[in-house]
Amino acid sequence: MKFSITSVLSFMALAASANAALNPIEVKGNAFYDSVSGSRFYIRGVDYLPGGASNFTDPLSSSDTCTRDIEYFKELGINTIRVYSVDNSADHKDCMEKLDDAGIYLILDVNTPKNSISRSDPQVSYNTAYLQHVFATIDAFASYDNVLGFFAANEVINNENTTQAAPYVKAVVRDMKTYMAAQNLRAIPVGYSAADISANRYQQIQYFNCGDDETARIDMFGMNDYSWCGNSSYTVSGYDQKVEQYSNYTRPLFLSEFGCNKVEPRPFGEIESIYSTNMTGVFSGGLVYEYSEEENNYGLVSISSSGTITEKQDFVNLKNAFASVSDPSGDGGAKDDDSPAVCPEMEEGVWEVNPLAGLPVMPERASAMLVSGAGDPSGTNEPPTQYGDSGDQSDDSNWDYSPTTAAASGSSTSSGSSSSSASSGSSASSGSSSSSSASGSATSKSAANPGAVNNLPSMTSSVVMLPLAVIVSSLLFGFASVVVV
Ligand SMILES: *[C@@H]1O[C@H](CO)[C@@H](O)[C@H](O)[C@H]1NC(C)=O
Ligand SMILES: *[C@@H]1O[C@H](CO)[C@@H](O)[C@H](O)[C@H]1NC(C)=O
Ligand SMILES: *[C@@H]1O[C@H](CO)[C@@H](O)[C@H](O)[C@H]1NC(C)=O
Ligand SMILES: *[C@@H]1O[C@H](CO)[C@@H](O)[C@H](O)[C@H]1NC(C)=O
Ligand SMILES: *[C@@H]1O[C@H](CO)[C@@H](O)[C@H](O)[C@H]1NC(C)=O
């Protein structure tokens, strides 16, 4: 028997991956578990976007950057980071292995500033070029056991009148799960990270976990929540009411951003509540916003222009809070039930999604990638995909979601405003939403906010101009598909 260099190398590669420290995390009912030990897993993490929201950088493609920062992650005592954007053509092996060695999982948003579902024109932004980007990002990370999950999107719905983007985001969830299954990749959990919009936050969590199509339901739900400020408490912050309201939710919930900065330095007293049995029956921990000090002033550390790290008092406070609070024993009150939620009712100006309308159909050329694979990653230099993919023009992706919605509402004119450009200005503009978060501007601070494609030409509403016959047939079609399903 002859040994080639290649077979020795591939044997070494196998041995290396077998030595990986971390086991994949899996979802059962409303909690995360270590897939090998079976113990419950709570996210103790930070959001990691050095460079800030307005400056796209992929921190996992630079060994120098991640090696420097992992030392601080270890000192903080965290087990998870969230990264908002990566260059899917870059090499992430070194950083992913170093994170693994340090006992740290990754939650990765699959979008970039150029590739995302646009809240102001979701239909046009849902196209083959976009899905190619998403699938290639999955390909780039699926082999790492320490990928805890993917976020299909972040804060696309950022007020009461961007809810019509929800079916497109849910279609992306479905497409990602379908792609992983078709390509025989590990079924990495897929979730959505929501802005804290008091008017429809309950509808959001229900919607993403509702319906008969298991593949379209999220596996985990992150809430960006800044309701605990300063020396608050479990009841003053309103955490208690969220726990009560979501007590029957059947997927893991966690805080995908928290850490209000109204009072500084931040005392981080919420850590004690988040990992107490007051909350662990419903929530599975969370991620503090954010590791590095940027313009919006949420940093745990400052990074000088030469790359030197200085720990802020927030860092010390958070580290002490994590060190003094352990996870509950046993299952922490987790529930096994994973039945679907009830789809929220349509309500004008609150939740403008028809529960009977189904989801946009995957474009034909994107479906072909289920078999062929995504192909080469496009990286960060491609033109943006939010403005459409001309190759898709003749397929189902041009199906307009809105008419069905309008028909079902019984009011063909009411949703006329629905497809107008609802998101104005920058991603930070959602401070004017009726978010109950104590820090009003808190909801859209994150990088690469996938809804943050603005200044798109305002799409003239086709809804108001539709002849009655079309509306009626949409209604019939909607009804027919319900009967068939
Ligand atoms: C963006 O990040 C890069 C790399 O960290 C840095 O060199 C550059 O100065 C940053 N730009 C802005 C506008 O902050
Ligand atoms: C918060 O509580 C700490 C410890 O009890 C106390 O030292 C601090 O002054 C309080 N801060 C405010 C703003 O009340
Ligand atoms: C949760 O389910 C229980 C049992 O079905 C029910 O009594 C309770 O009202 C539900 N709670 C909420 C907040 O929906
Ligand atoms: C747990 O809930 C009780 C009742 O609301 C509250 O008094 C207590 O402070 C909470 N404890 C923590 C750690 O949140
Ligand atoms: C969307 O809702 C916000 C309030 O949340 C409001 O300020 C804005 O004018 C609305 N935009 C449209 C197009 O209706």
Identify whether 279 is part of a domain: yes
In a domain, 430, yes or no: no
pLDDT of residue 15: 42
Task: Tell me the mean pLDDT in the region 9-38.
Answer: 77
Q: Mean per-residue pLDDT for 435-463?
A: 33
Catalytic member of 26, 257, 290, 293:
257
φ/ψ of 82, rounded to 5, equals -115, 130
Ligand 1 and 62: CB distance under 6 A: no
Is there a domain that residue 392 lies in? Answer: no
Assess if residue 153 is contained within a domain.
yes
Q: Does residue 215 sit within a domain?
A: yes
**Partners of 34 in the β-ladder:** 25
Residues 125, 453 contacting (CB under 8 angstroms) = yes
Q: Which residues contact 260 (CB under 8 A, 6 or more apart)?
A: 226, 227, 228, 229, 230, 266, 437, 438, 439, 442
Query: What is the per-residue pLDDT across 45-54, written as a single tens digit (0 to 9) for each?
Result: 999 999 887 7
263-310 confidence digits (pLDDT tens): 999 999 999 999 999 999 999 999 999 999 999 999 999 999 999 999
**Residues recorded for the chain:** 485
Kind of pairing, strands 40-41 and 31-34? Answer: antiparallel
pLDDT at 374: 98
Ligand 3 binding pocket includes 245 (Cβ within 6 Å) = yes
Question: Quick check: is 294 catalytic?
Answer: no
**Could you give the percent of the chain with pLDDT greater than 70?**
77
> By C-alpha distance, which of 326, 148, 295, 297 is closest to 222?
148
126 found inside a domain: yes
Give the tens place of pLDDT for each residue, 379-432.
987 899 999 998 986 544 444 444 343 333 322 222 222 222 222 222 322 222
Residue nearest to atom 14 of ligand 4 (CA): 273
Residue 10 burial class via C-beta count within 10 angstroms: exposed 0-12, middle 13-18, buried 19 and up: exposed
Asked whether residue 342 is domain-assigned, the answer is yes
Domain containing residue 357 = 39-370
Reported pTM: 0.82
Atom of ligand 2 nearest to the CA of 231: 1
* 141 domain residue, yes or no: yes
pLDDT bracket for residue 41 (50, 70, 90): very high
Pocket of ligand 4 contains residue 240 by CB under 6 Å: yes
Q: Treating both helix axes as pointing N-terminal to C-terminal, what angle do 364-372 and 166-182 enclose, rounded to 10 degrees?
A: 30
Residue 256 has pLDDT above 80, yes or no: yes
Domains of the chain: total: 1
Q: Which residues pair with 83 in a beta bridge?
A: 108
Report the CATH number that the domain containing residue 125 is assigned in CATH: 3.20.20.80
Please tell me the predicted confidence (pLDDT) of residue 4: 45
State yes or no: pLDDT of 447 exceeds 80: no
pLDDT in tens, 231-250: 999 999 999 999 999 999 99
